[in-house]
C-alpha cells in the first residue's frame, strides 16, 4: 500500500509528495518552499534518516513509522506557532480513528465518560498514549517574500516500532496492540483530519475554539508541572494555555507564569529533581 490523500484532503486542494526514504521531510518541504512551491503540500515517508526535533535534537524515523510534513504559506502577521495545536487536534483525531480501542474512554469531542484519558496531548507538541510518547510535532518557519511565511509542520508517529534508547517513556501503535496498522493508514486519516481542524482555526480567527478543544485533550491539566528554562526551574500547576498558546503555570505563591518554550515535566515527574 502506498501513501494517498483521502477525499477530504484532495477536495481541499492538498497535494502529496511520497518518498521511499528521505533525510528529513521538514527539510525537504522547506527546500521546496524556497524553490517557489505554492504550499498545501504533504511530504511523507516511512523512512527518515536525518530528521530533527526541538532544539536541533537528532530524530530518525524507524522503518515502517510515519514521518510527514505539511508545507503551508501563511501571511506574516499570523501566529504560526498556533498551528502546532491545530496539528495536535488533527493527530488526536487520526490516532483515534486508526485505533478505535483508544476512543473507548476518549470521544473525538473530548468527552471521557468519567474515565481517564488514554490518548492525550502534551504541551506543546507531543501525543501520548497511556503516558508514553507515540508522536511528536515540530514547526519550522521561514520568510519567502511577498508578505508570506513558509510554515512546515512535521509530524512523526511511532506506528510499528518504538525508537530505542530514548530518555523518556515512549510507545508505538503496534506495541499497544493495534493490529494491521501501517503508516499509510495513519497518514490518510491525518491528512483528512487536518482539513477539519484547519477550518476550525480559520486562519487564526478561530484559535479560541482550537484552544478549547485542545485543552479537553490535554495531558496534565490541573496537575503539578515543572518547566526548565535554562538554569531556572518553574514549578507549579498546569493552569491552562493562553490565547497565544503559551503554557500557563500557577506557582505556589499564586502568581501566573506564561511559558513560551522549555523542558516540561508533568504530574509525578514534576516533583523530582530535573
Q: Are residues 208 and 109 in the same domain?
A: yes
C-alpha cell belonging to residue 84: 502546532
Within a domain: 1: no
Q: Are residues 203 and 228 in the same domain?
A: no
Q: According to DSSP H, which parts of the chain are helical?
A: 7-11, 25-34, 83-98, 183-201, 207-216
Looking at residue 106, its pLDDT comes to 43
Q: Are residues 232 and 210 in the same domain?
A: no
Q: Are residues 246 and 135 in the same domain?
A: no
**Long-range CB pairs of 115-120, under 8 A, 24+ apart, other chains included:** 117/217, 117/219, 119/92, 119/95, 119/217, 120/217, 120/218, 120/219
Within a domain: 188: yes
Q: Are residues 200 and 242 in the same domain?
A: no
- Domain end: 216, 239, 258, which one? 216
Range(s) of the domain holding residue 260: 224-271
Does the pTM of the predicted model rise above 0.85? yes
Residue 258 is part of a domain; what is its CATH number?
A: 2.30.30.100
CA count, 13 A, side-chain hemisphere, 42: 29
Q: Are residues 251 and 123 in the same domain?
A: no
In tens digits, the chain (274 residues) has pLDDT values of 699 999 999 999 999 999 999 999 999 999 999 999 999 999 999 999 876 655 556 556 778 999 999 999 999 999 999 999 999 999 999 999 988 666 544 444 444 444 567 899 999 999 999 889 999 999 999 999 889 999 999 999 999 998 877 778 899 999 998 888 999 999 999 999 999 999 999 999 999 999 999 999 999 999 999 999 888 999 999 999 999 999 999 999 999 999 998 889 886 555 555 5
Domain count of the fold of the chain: 2
Amino acid at each position: 500500500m502506498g501513501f494517498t490523500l483521502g477525499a477530504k484532503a484532495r477536495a481541499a486542494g492538498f497535494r502529496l509528495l511520497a518518498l521511499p526514504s528521505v533525510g528529513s521531510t521538514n527539510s525537504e518541504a522547506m527546500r521546496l518552499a524556497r524553490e517557489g512551491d505554492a504550499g498545501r503540500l504533504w511530504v511523507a515517508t516511512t523512512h527518515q534518516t536525518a530528521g530533527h526535533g526541538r532544539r536541533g535534537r537528532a530524530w530518525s524515523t524507524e522503518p515502517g513509522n510515519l514521518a510527514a510534513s505539511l508545507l503551508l504559506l501563511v501571511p506574516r502577521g499570523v501566529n504560526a506557532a498556533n498551528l502546532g495545536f491545530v496539528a495536535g487536534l488533527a493527530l488526536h483525531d487520526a490516532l483515534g480513528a486508526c485505533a478505535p480501542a483508544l476512543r473507548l474512554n476518549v470521544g473525538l469531542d473530548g468527552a471521557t465518560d468519567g474515565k481517564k484519558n488514554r490518548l492525550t496531548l502534551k504541551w506543546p507538541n507531543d501525543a501520548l498514549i497511556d503516558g508514553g510518547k507515540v508522536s511528536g510535532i515540530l514547526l519550522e518557519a521561514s520568510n519567502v517574500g511577498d508578505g508570506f511565511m513558509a510554515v512546515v509542520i512535521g509530524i512523526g508517529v511511532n506506528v510499528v516500532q518504538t525508537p530505542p534508547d530514548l530518555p523518556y517513556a515512549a510507545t508505538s501503535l503496534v506495541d499497544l496492540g493495534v493490529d494491521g496498522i501501517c503508516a499509510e493508514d495513519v497518514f490518510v486519516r491525518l491528512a483528512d483530519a487536518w482539513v477539519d481542524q484547519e477550518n476550525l482555526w480559520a486562519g487564526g480567527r478561530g484559535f479560541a475554539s482550537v484552544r478549547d478543544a485542545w485543552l479537553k485533550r490535554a495531558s496534565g491539566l490541573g496537575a503539578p508541572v515543572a518547566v526548565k528554562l535554562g538554569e531556572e526551574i518553574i514549578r507549579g500547576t498546569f493552569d491552562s494555555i493562553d490565547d497565544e498558546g503559551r503554557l500557563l503555570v500557577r506557582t505556589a505563591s499564586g502568581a501566573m507564569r506564561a511559558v513560551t518554550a522549555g523542558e516540561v515535566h508533568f504530574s509525578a515527574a514534576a516533583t523530582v529533581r530535573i
